[in-house]
Chains A and B, each alone.
Chain A
Amino acid sequence: MSFGGVRHFTFVYEANTSAAGSLELEDWVTWQRGTGSGRFDQVDFRHELEYGVTDSLQASVYLADWLYQSDREHSGFAYSDTAIELIYNLTNPVVDPVGLSVYGELKAGDQLIELESKLIAQKNLGPLILAYNATLESVWEGHDLDEREGEFSQALGVSYEISPRVSVGLELLHEFVFPEWRDEGKIRNFFIGPNISYRRQNWFVTLTALSQATNTEDEADFQLRTIFGIAL
């Protein structure tokens, strides 16, 4: 099998999809730290299989999302969910004015159902990649799935290829959170930070460190995400 493709970002998706027939395993690790009164550490793990159905359609399965959480009251591991994801590429980021893709994801767990849709835009200008995502999420969680939350987020990424194997860049994440689909709390989170991507013959690793520029109490102040991908 061939390679699914390299990620230049970890929080921002790119518009290009995997070649037909390619299969890749990606392992994600995201560490979040909150330092306010509700101080916590959380490490999320994801194991994803990515397959190129056609040159324009890519399908992924999140075999397992699980986490380790530690706060003042308790700590331990927990299974979170399993998910499927589809990305359909509409236009090319090199030859078309803007590369566009649409994204859909269904996530289901013990106490979680989540629907996520995304519009992905990208432009490649020589060694520079500009990518933008607009994402809408609907979440139902809790024992009877009776807690609802909506979220709209924007993500922007810039990556510059400094050598055939290394790219460096910046990622920005802007979240609008709507508990119970209401905007009474006016919850807005803004994260920004650098990234680096390194690739070899059949694998890559990408790392992003984000810091919260807003002051939302229950949100992570710092996030570190790495994605390691290897061709199968």
Chain B
Amino acid sequence: MVAIICFVDLSSCGTTFAPPPVTPELVRAGSGQYPNIAMLREGRALFVHRCIECHTLPAFWRYSTEDWPKIVDSMSHRANLKPSERDAVVAYILAVRAQQAF
């Protein structure tokens, strides 16, 4: 029954599936590693548009900080990402991981 209620009203269960927006807090969470807010915004936009062409978006905690760059790199050609765009996607993912303190 709880599952049905959650499915009907996902917000009531505190569940959010959309990747978090880029905020100054997110930039700070990267410990100064990703200070460029424009880069993080580009990374988020690419993450939510290009990655879903093939698969649903994985949870940020599913892969480690070390694994994420390799995973994104392995799919960057398929997603038609230029090197700078690939780096922006990785920067966004790692900043969210840092903010959520995985």
B70 at the interface (CB under 8 A from A): no
Mostly, the A contact residues are loop
B17: chain A residues at CB < 8 Å are 94, 124-126
B25 at the interface (CB under 8 A from A): no
Residue of B nearest to A92 (CB): B48
- B 53-86 contacts with A by CB, 8 A: 53-59, 77-80
A3 and B15 alpha carbons, distance in the complex (Å): 31
Residues of A within 8 Å of B80, CB to CB, are 2-3, 19-22, 52
Please name the residue on chain A nearest to B7 by beta carbon. Answer: A125
A55 within 8 A of B: yes
Interface contact tally, CB-CB below 8 A: 65
A93 contacts the other chain (Cβ, under 8 Å)? Answer: yes
**B19 adjacent to chain A (CB < 8 Å):** yes
Interface size class of B (residues with CB under 8 A): 20 to 34
Provide the B36-64 mask, 1 if CB < 8 A to any CB of A, else 0. Answer: 00000000000011101111111100000
In the complex, what residue of chain A is closest to B62 when comparing beta carbons? A164
CA distance A135 to B83 in the complex (A): 39
- Evaluate contact between A19 and B79: CB separation under 8 angstroms: yes
Contacts of A124 in B (CB 8 A): 17, 52, 56-57
- In the assembled complex, B2 has its CB within 8 A of some CB on chain A: no
Q: Could you tell me the distance in whole angstroms from the C-beta of B7 to the nearest C-beta in chain A?
A: 8
Q: How far is the CA of A127 from the CA of B56 in the complex (A)?
A: 5
A128 at the interface (CB under 8 A from B): yes
In the A-B complex, list the 9 residue pairs whose CB atoms are closest, starting with the nearest.
A5-B53, A2-B80, A19-B80, A3-B78, A6-B54, A94-B48, A161-B56, A126-B17, A127-B56
Residues of B within 8 A of A (CB): 10, 15, 17-19, 48-50, 52-59, 77-80
Q: Show 30 residue pairs from A and B whose CB-CB distance is below 8 angstroms, ordered by the A residue.
A: A2-B78, A2-B79, A3-B79, A6-B53, A19-B50, A19-B80, A20-B80, A22-B80, A52-B80, A92-B48, A93-B52, A94-B17, A94-B18, A94-B48, A95-B18, A95-B19, A95-B48, A124-B52, A124-B57, A125-B10, A125-B17, A126-B56, A126-B57, A127-B56, A128-B56, A129-B56, A161-B56, A199-B54, A202-B78, A204-B54
